[in-house]
């Protein structure tokens, strides 16, 4: 192996130009894409009024707001603590009940969307489009509608989470049903089982761990979205947080944000433990 | 176990005891399974009761019935007819003979909405760009196999966690106070949240890469930055592109509601329509967002398939 000198590299470049640079059309396309991208960003910066002075004053205010973080505000009276803890509890309840209700409703619906169970093409397709339509509704917007019907408070939040979860769960559950192996089903049928028994003993044990992990994962994400439903008035900790921010009580607001982070951490840790225990044991028996 | 070995291990006359042993073991298994099932159900019921109590699930209130008497009603049951009424009010009047005029009536603010829709998509675009830059830069110090040292790893992981644990809407509340009302606060809020979420996904991709190329760059005398640039980035690029497109879809949804707290986009129109009781506007806005989300999902799906097709299948 001889040393690559500059002269030899130059010689190689002239001998094999295509190995060292893109052909002209590719180059032009790349440059055009970059110009478009940078141009769009520049236009957005101008349109959204990202002026340096505005950024500067904003950062100054942000620093002032952030300075309220330390020392953190500690509530001293039991009334204040009760209010905050009740808010956290409401958020968790909304996530839990919303997830449970969504999963219960989605469980039978999922069979409609699975190719290996529902063989009627048009019914399956319309069921799947139905799930997509439900999923297109934002939880927050559903919460706004439900507040009109059920009043302010956690109930609207529970139902908003439940309805939007029906779509997600039904889609994921039916995908899990389609990913099962056919062999246990054939085994049940071969030993004289009916169609219902083949689903009960052939398919359900296979999907149970998948269902559980999907439910747990969505519960975690619903705890996160449950924190913001309060901002529009659907109960939970978000209500207290937006109230403190609009009253410029930043020290309390930061403490609430810390508590939210701590709660999310705790839930993630708990659900990881539940996941390893429950799903591990289910997969062993399945 | 071969048949011969089976025969020698369990001679036929020992069959009965073997069956009995099996039966016993099976019964023990069934008992354990039943006990676990019982405990699980009990825990679930306790949790359900507790959350139902905290979440006012079985709340009852006094309502006035048709005969003018007061009676107690379960809130959910009482609310469902009201929900039906509310949804019925949002459905516009469309008559076959004056369809065009009715449509014009329904989408009477279409100029404003189109403007705001463009703003919504641009907020999502800018936020995704910010999120990708932030997440990409931080994903390398936040992956266990690439971080130069322990405290850099710890610091970048904590930063990403906080950025993605606090919801966009909360960041938006804070940024609207700092930078004033408008799309800028929305871009910063969604961008910060997206950086946290993307940084985590990217760092998971980074933790699954082949370390060989990095060692090669190191052997040739490359610095830590060189190793990342020439050893890691080419491996993770296809995955990063597909995650980014998925995030863009999520960000479009977020930017369509973030206006509710005054951070630009279509969300502010929702708030106006709600407070001015313009019910048909709500259904029009729903339709606009629904169509936009579906179009963007479809387009990015196509783009993703093309990119994955070009780069080979994602690792």
Q: What is the pLDDT of residue B302?
A: 85
What is the per-residue pLDDT across B252-282, written as a single tens digit (0 to 9) for each? 988 988 988 888 888 888 888 888 877 888 8
Give residue B188's region: left, alpha or beta (phi > 0; psi -120 to 50). Answer: alpha
pLDDT in tens, B164-173: 888 889 999 9
Interface test with A, best of B55, B85, B168 (most A CBs within 10 A): B55
Same domain, B192 and B301: yes
Do B202 and B75 share a domain, yes or no? no
What whole-number percentage of chain B has pLDDT above 90? 24
Q: Which of A67, A86, A113 is the last residue of a domain?
A: A67
Average pLDDT over residues B192-197: 94
Examine the domain organization and report whether A127 and A183 are in the same domain.
yes
Q: Are residues B144 and B215 in the same domain?
A: yes
A268, A223: one domain: yes
Instruction: Examine the domain organization and report whether B164 and B189 are in the same domain.
Output: yes
Which residue on chain B is closest to A154 by alpha carbon? B55
Average pLDDT value for chain A: 87
Task: Collect all residues with Cβ–Cβ distance below 8 Å to B208 and sequence separation of at least 6.
Answer: B315
Over range A19-44, report the average pLDDT: 86
Residue to test with chain A: of B167, B175, B251, B289, most A Cβ within 10 A: B167
- Residue B22's H or E segment, with its range, is helix B15-54
The answer for residues whose C-beta is within 8 angstroms of residue B153's C-beta and 6 or more apart is B141, B142, B144, B147
Of A59, A144, A154, the CB nearest to B55: A154
A52 and A81 co-located in one domain: no
pLDDT for residue A1: 54
Report the pLDDT averaged over residues B199-228: 89
Are A44 and B257 an interchain contact pair (Cβ–Cβ within 8 Å)? Answer: no
B100 and B136: one domain? Answer: no
Answer for the pair B190, B255: CB distance below 8 angstroms, yes or no. Answer: yes
Look at residue B12 and tell me whether its pLDDT is greater than 60: no
Give yes or no for residue A179 having a pLDDT over 50. yes
Q: Looking at the predicted structure, is the pLDDT value of residue A283 above 70?
A: no
Pair B227, B190 in one domain:
yes
Range of the domain at A259: 76-285
Q: Do A149 and A49 have their domain in common?
A: no
| Domain total in chain A | 2
So what's the pLDDT on residue B9? 58
A100 plus A44 within the same structural domain: no
Note whether residue A200 is domain-resident: yes
Residues A30, A170: one domain?
A: no
CB-based contacts of A47, cutoff 8 Å, min separation 6: B119, B122, B183
Q: Provide the pLDDT confidence category of residue B56 given band limits of 50, 70 and 90.
A: confident
DSSP B146: T
Same domain, A195 and A249: yes
Would you state the pLDDT for residue B315? 39
Q: What is the mean pLDDT of residues B95-120?
A: 81
End-to-end CA distance of chain B: 39
Exposure string for B175-190, b = 16+ CB within 10 A, e = fewer: bbbbbeebbbbbbbbb
Q: Does B297 lie in the same domain as B158?
A: yes
pLDDT of residue A45: 87
Task: Flag whether B315 is in a domain.
Answer: no
Query: Measuring CA to CA, which residue among B199, B194, B88, B94 is closest to residue B142?
Result: B199
Give the helix/strand (H/E) hosting A270.
helix A250-274
pLDDT at B62 over 70: no
Look over chain B and give the mean of its residue pLDDT values, rounded to a whole number.
83
User: What DSSP state is assigned to residue B73?
Assistant: E
pLDDT at residue B127 in the model: 94
Flag whether A221 is in a domain: yes
Domain of B198, in residue numbers: 110-308
CB contact under 8 A, A154 and B178: no
pLDDT 10s digits, A201-228:
889 888 988 898 899 999 998 998 889 8
**Percentage of chain A with pLDDT > 70?**
97
d(CA B18, CA B218): 63
Band (pLDDT 50/70/90 cuts) for residue B15 is low
Kindly give the residue spans of alpha helices, DSSP state H, lying in B180-278: 183-207, 212-219, 224-226, 233-257, 267-275
For chain B, how many structural domains are there in total? Answer: 3
Q: Is A1 on the interface with B (CB under 8 A)?
A: no
pLDDT at B305 > cutoff 60: yes
pLDDT value at residue B84: 82
Q: What are B94's two structure tokens?
A: 């469309």
Question: What pLDDT, on the 0 to 100 scale, is given for residue B133?
Answer: 93
Q: CB-hemisphere CA count at 13 Å for B195?
A: 26
Per-residue pLDDT at B146: 83
Question: Are A36 and A89 contained in the same domain?
Answer: no
Q: Are residues A56 and A82 in the same domain?
A: no
**Closest CA of chain B from A129, distance in Å:** 12
Angle of helix A250-274 versus helix A78-112 axis, rounded to 10: 40
Residues A132 and A271 both lie in one domain? yes
Q: Are residues B228 and B157 in the same domain?
A: yes
What would you measure as the largest C-alpha separation in chain A, in angstroms? 82
In a domain, B159, yes or no: yes
Q: Tell which of A16, A41, A67 closes a domain.
A: A67
Say which DSSP state A137 is in: S
Asked if residue B192 has pLDDT above 90, the reply is yes
B297 within a domain of the structure (yes/no): yes
Question: Is B71 in the same domain as B195?
Answer: no
Express as a percent the part of chain B with pLDDT over 70. Answer: 90
Asked if residue A85 and residue A57 are part of one domain, the reply reads no
User: What is the model's pLDDT at position B16?
Assistant: 72
CA distance B28 to B36: 12
Q: Are residues A191 and A268 in the same domain?
A: yes
What is the rounded distance in angstroms from the CA atom of residue A239 to the CA atom of residue B236?
A: 41
pLDDT for B14 = 58
Q: Beta strand pairing status for B60-64 and B70-74?
A: antiparallel
Q: Could you tell me if residue B2 is inside a domain?
A: no
Residue B122: its pLDDT value, please?
Answer: 93
Rg over alpha carbons for chain B, rounded to the nearest Å, is 30
Q: Which of A44, A54, A90 sits opposite B55 (nearest CB)?
A: A90
Domain membership of residue B248 (yes or no) is yes
């Amino acid at each position: 192996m001889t040393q690559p000198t500059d002269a030899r590299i130059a010689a190689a470049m002239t001998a094999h130009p295509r190995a060292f640079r893109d052909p002209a059309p590719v180059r032009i396309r790349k440059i055009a894409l970059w110009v478009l991208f940078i141009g769009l960003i520049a236009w957005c910066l101008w349109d959204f009024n990202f002026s340096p002075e505005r950024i500067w004053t904003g950062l100054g205010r942000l620093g002032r707001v952030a300075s309220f973080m330390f020392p953190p505000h500690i509530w001293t009276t039991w009334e204040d603590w009760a209010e905050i803890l009740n808010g956290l509890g409401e958020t968790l309840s909304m996530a839990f009940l919303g997830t449970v209700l969504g999963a219960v409703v989605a469980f039978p619906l999922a069979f409609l969307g699975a190719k290996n169970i529902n063989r009627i093409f048009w019914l399956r397709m319309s069921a799947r489009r139905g799930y997509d339509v439900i999923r297109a509704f934002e939880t927050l917007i559903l919460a706004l509608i439900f507040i009109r019907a059920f009043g302010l408070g956690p109930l609207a939040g529970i139902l908003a989470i439940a309805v939007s979860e029906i779509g997600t769960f039904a889609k994921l559950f039916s995908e899990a049903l389609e990913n099962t192996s056919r062999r246990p089903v054939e085994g049940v049928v071969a030993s004289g089982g009916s169609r219902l028994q083949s689903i009960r003993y052939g398919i359900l044990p296979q999907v149970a761990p998948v269902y559980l992990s999907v439910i747990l994962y969505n519960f975690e994400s619903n705890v996160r979205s449950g924190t913001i439903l309060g901002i529009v008035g659907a109960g939970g900790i978000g209500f207290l947080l937006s109230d403190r921010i609009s009253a410029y009580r930043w020290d309390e607001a930061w403490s609430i944000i810390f508590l939210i982070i701590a709660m999310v951490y705790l839930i993630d840790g708990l659900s990881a433990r539940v996941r390893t225990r429950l799903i591990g044991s289910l997969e062993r028996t399945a | 176990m071969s048949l011969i070995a089976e025969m020698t291990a369990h001679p036929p006359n020992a069959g009965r005891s073997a069956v009995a042993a099996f039966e016993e073991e099976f019964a023990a298994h069934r008992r354990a399974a039943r006990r676990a099932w019982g405990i699980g159900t009990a825990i679930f019921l306790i949790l359900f009761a507790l959350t139902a109590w905290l979440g006012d699930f079985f709340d009852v209130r006094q309502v006035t019935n048709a005969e003018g008497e007061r009676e107690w009603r379960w809130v959910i049951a009482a609310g469902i007819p009201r929900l039906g009424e509310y949804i019925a009010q949002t459905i516009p009047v469309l008559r076959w003979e004056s369809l065009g005029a009715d449509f014009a009536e329904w989408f009477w603010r279409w100029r404003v909405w189109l403007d705001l829709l463009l703003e919504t998509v641009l907020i999502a675009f800018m936020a995704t760009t910010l999120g990708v830059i932030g997440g990409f830069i931080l994903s390398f110090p936040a992956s266990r196999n690439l971080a130069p040292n322990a405290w850099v790893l710890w610091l970048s992981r904590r930063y990403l966690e906080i950025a993605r644990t606090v919801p966009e809407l909360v960041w938006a509340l804070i940024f609207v106070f700092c930078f004033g009302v408008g799309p800028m606060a929305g871009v910063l809020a969604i961008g910060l949240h997206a950086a946290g979420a993307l940084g985590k996904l990217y760092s998971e991709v980074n933790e699954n890469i082949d370390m060989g190329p990095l060692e090669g760059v190191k052997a040739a005398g490359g610095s830590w930055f060189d190793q990342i640039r020439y050893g890691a980035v080419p491996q993770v690029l296809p995955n990063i592109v597909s995650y980014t497109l998925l995030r863009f879809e999520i960000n479009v949804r977020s930017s369509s509601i973030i206006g509710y707290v005054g951070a630009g986009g279509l969300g502010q129109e929702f708030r106006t329509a709600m407070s001015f009781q313009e019910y048909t506007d709500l259904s029009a806005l729903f339709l606009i967002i629904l169509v936009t989300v579906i179009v963007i999902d479809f387009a990015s799906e196509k783009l993703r398939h093309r990119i994955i097709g070009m780069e080979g299948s994602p690792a």
